C-alpha cells in the first residue's frame, strides 16, 4: 500500500500530538539493535524522529531487516521519551514514536557514502562522488535547508516586486549570439541548416526591448548561460533576479534594490545585522586606491558571518583593455557613459566613466547594473570603440539600434545572482552548495554524464560534421 496524503503527518508536526496514533513515512537514517528493542531514526524532509520497534510483534517482524535509506511507513503512538533519554540536539528530541505497524515500501542498495546531516561530515566525501550521486547528497539536511532558503528568497523577491507594480515576463532562451563578454553556448538549427541559436548570457537586450515596448517595470527569475571557465562562485548556468525600469535614474534603481535586500534580511535572516543603512557608496577609482579591489569586504570582523556589509561601487570605467590590448566593455556595452558625446568616446575611451553600479556584500559582488544608453548614436560609438565596424554593428545589433529610433525612454536596471546571494547569506562554502544539480569545476555533470557525444544520426539531421581535434 502506498502513502495516503490525507493520513500522513510530517515529523515536524508531532510535538503537540503526544498520546495520539499517527502515520508517518520516510527513510531509515540510523538503525540501532538493542535485542528486544530496535530503534531507528526516521528521516523525512522536516526532521528526524526516533521510532521504537519490538521485533517480536508480528506486524513489526521486518524491524530486524531494516537498513539505512530503506523507505518505510510506520504507524504508532507518539510518546514522551523516558527521563534521561531525551536528545537536546534534535528538534524532536523529547518524543518518540512507539511503533504498532511497520511497512517496508522500498529497500535500498548500500549508498556509496553515508547520508549525513551536516556539511562538516559531507565535505569529507569527495565532491565528484557526491555530484555523481547528487540525488543521495540532496538527502543531507544542511543542503536541503539551503534549498529551502533559496526558495524563500526567490518568493520574497517576487512578492516584493509584484507589490510595487512590476510585471514578471519570460524572455526567450533561444536567441542570437552577441559579444557580451563570455562565450555563448550555441544551438544548431535543424530547420535552418548552417544557422545557430545562442543560449542567453543574460536577458539584456530583451528586457531593454520590453521597456521600449512600454513595459515600464519588468522582472523575471532568469536563467543565464555562459561558456566560461568555472570558479567557486560561478557556474555555466545560473539564476538571476533580472530587473529593468523606465524613466529612472541611478538612485531609483539602487533605492529599489536597497529596499529589497534590507526587507529580505529582516524577514528571512533576522539574526543577521546590516552594518550600515543606507548602504555606503564608493566610486570605482577610490575602491581600487583604498582596497585594491572593486569588491572590498567592509566588515569589522571578516570572520563574522552575521555581519552584513553592503556596499555600492559606482562610476566604473566604461572600457578596459583585454589581454591583446583591444578595448572592451568593463560591464556590458549597453551602459550609459557619463556626459560625453560619441566623438569624445572615440577620442579617449580610457577617460569615459559609466553610470554602472555593483552591489557588494561581504566581499562578493551580488548584483550589477546600469542606466542604459538610449541614444542609438551613443550605442553605436560604444561598439566602434570596441573595434566593430559599422557593417558588423548593423549585423549584430541593428535590431537594437532601430528600436531606439522609435522613442526609447530613459531606462536602467540591475541583475542579482540568486546563487551567490543565497550562498553568502547562508554561509555556504561555494555556490554549488545552494544549487540542486550543479556542474563540476570544469562544467561536467557526473550524474547525467554530460556533456555527451551526439549520435551520428543527430549530427546528420543538423548537417554537422565533427573535426578530429587530435590531429595536427
Q: How far is it, in rounded angstroms, from Cα 139 to Cα 148?
A: 13
Is residue 131 within 8 A of residue 177, CB to CB? The reply is no
Q: Where is the binding site, in residues?
A: 180, 226-228, 235, 331, 365, 372, 417-420
Residue 277: other Cβ atoms inside 10 A:
9
What's the burial of 118, exposed, middle or buried (CB within 10 Å: 0-12/13-18/19+)?
A: exposed
Is residue 26 within 8 A of residue 129, CB to CB? The reply is no
Is residue 171 within 8 A of residue 220, CB to CB? The reply is yes
Nearest to 97 by CA among 3, 24, 7: 24
Q: Classify 16 in phi/psi space as left (phi over 0), alpha (psi -120 to 50) or beta.
A: alpha
Q: Where is the binding site for ATP, in residues?
A: 226-228, 235, 365, 417-420
Q: b/e map of 279-299 (b: 16 or more CB within 10 Å)?
A: beebebeebeeeeeebbbebb
Residue 131: other Cβ atoms inside 10 A:
18
Is residue 425 within 8 A of residue 362, CB to CB? The reply is no
Q: Where is the binding site for L-aspartate, in residues?
A: 180, 226, 331, 372
Distance of CA 11 to the CA centre of its chain: 28
Is residue 415 within 8 A of residue 202, CB to CB? The reply is yes
Q: Is the peptide bond before 278 cis (omega within 30 degrees of 0)?
A: yes
Amino acid at each position: 500500500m502506498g502513502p495516503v496524503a490525507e493520513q500522513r503527518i510530517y515529523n515536524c508536526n508531532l510535538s503537540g500530538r503526544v498520546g495520539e496514533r499517527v502515520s508517518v513515512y520516510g527513510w531509515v537514517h540510523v538503525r540501532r539493535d538493542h535485542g528486544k528493542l530496535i530503534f531507528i531514526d526516521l528521516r523525512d524532509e522536516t526532521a528526524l524522529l526516533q521510532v521504537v520497534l519490538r521485533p517480536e510483534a508480528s506486524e513489526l517482524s521486518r524491524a530486524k531487516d531494516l537498513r539505512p535509506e530503506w523507505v518505510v511507513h510506520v504507524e504508532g503512538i507518539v510518546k514522551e521519551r523516558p527521563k534521561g533519554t531525551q536528545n537536546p540536539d534534535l528538534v524532536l528530541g523529547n518524543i518518540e514514536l512507539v511503533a504498532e505497524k511497520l511497512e517496508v515500501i522500498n529497500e535500498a542498495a548500500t549508498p556509496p557514502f553515508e547520508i549525513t546531516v551536516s556539511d562538516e561530515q559531507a565535505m569529507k566525501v569527495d565532491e565528484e562522488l557526491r555530484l555523481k550521486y547528487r540525488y543521495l547528497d540532496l538527502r543531507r539536511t544542511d543542503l536541503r535547508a539551503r534549498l529551502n532558503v533559496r526558495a524563500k528568497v526567490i518568493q520574497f523577491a517576487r512578492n516584493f516586486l509584484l507589490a510595487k507594480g512590476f510585471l514578471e515576463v519570460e524572455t526567450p532562451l533561444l536567441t542570437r549570439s552577441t559579444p557580451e563578454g563570455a562565450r555563448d553556448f550555441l544551438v544548431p538549427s535543424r530547420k535552418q541548416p548552417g544557422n545557430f541559436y545562442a543560449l542567453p548570457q543574460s536577458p539584456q537586450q530583451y528586457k531593454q526591448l520590453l521597456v521600449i515596448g512600454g513595459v515600464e517595470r519588468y522582472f523575471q527569475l532568469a536563467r543565464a548561460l555562459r561558456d566560461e571557465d568555472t570558479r567557486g562562485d560561478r557556474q555555466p548556468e545560473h539564476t538571476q533576479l533580472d530587473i529593468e525600469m523606465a524613466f529612472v535614474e541611478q538612485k531609483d534603481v539602487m533605492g529599489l534594490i536597497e529596499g529589497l535586500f534590507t526587507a529580505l534580511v529582516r524577514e528571512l535572516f533576522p539574526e543577521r545585522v546590516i552594518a550600515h543603512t543606507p548602504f555606503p557608496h564608493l566610486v570605482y577609482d577610490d575602491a581600487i586606491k583604498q582596497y585594491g579591489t572593486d569588491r572590498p569586504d567592509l566588515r569589522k570582523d571578516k570572520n563574522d558571518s552575521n555581519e552584513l556589509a553592503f556596499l555600492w561601487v559606482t562610476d566604473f570605467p566604461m572600457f578596459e583593455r583585454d589581454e591583446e590590448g583591444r578595448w572592451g566593455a568593463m560591464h556590458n556595452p549597453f551602459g550609459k557613459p557619463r556626459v560625453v558625446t560619441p566623438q569624445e568616446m572615440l577620442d579617449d575611451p580610457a577617460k569615459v566613466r559609466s553610470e554602472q553600479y555593483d552591489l557588494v556584500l561581504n566581499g562578493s559582488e551580488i548584483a550589477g547594473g546600469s542606466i542604459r544608453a538610449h541614444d542609438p548614436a551613443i550605442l553605436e560609438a560604444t561598439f566602434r570603440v570596441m573595434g566593430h565596424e559599422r557593417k558588423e554593428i548593423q549585423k549584430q545589433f541593428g535590431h537594437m539600434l532601430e528600436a531606439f529610433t522609435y522613442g526609447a525612454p530613459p531606462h536602467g536596471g540591475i541583475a542579482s545572482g540568486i546563487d551567490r546571494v543565497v550562498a553568502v547569506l547562508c554561509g555556504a562554502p561555494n555556490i554549488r552548495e545552494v544549487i540542486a544539480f550543479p556542474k563540476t569545476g570544469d562544467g561536467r555533470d557526473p550524474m547525467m554524464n554530460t556533456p555527451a557525444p551526439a549520435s551520428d544520426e543527430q549530427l546528420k539531421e543538423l548537417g554537422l560534421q565533427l573535426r578530429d581535434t587530435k590531429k595536427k
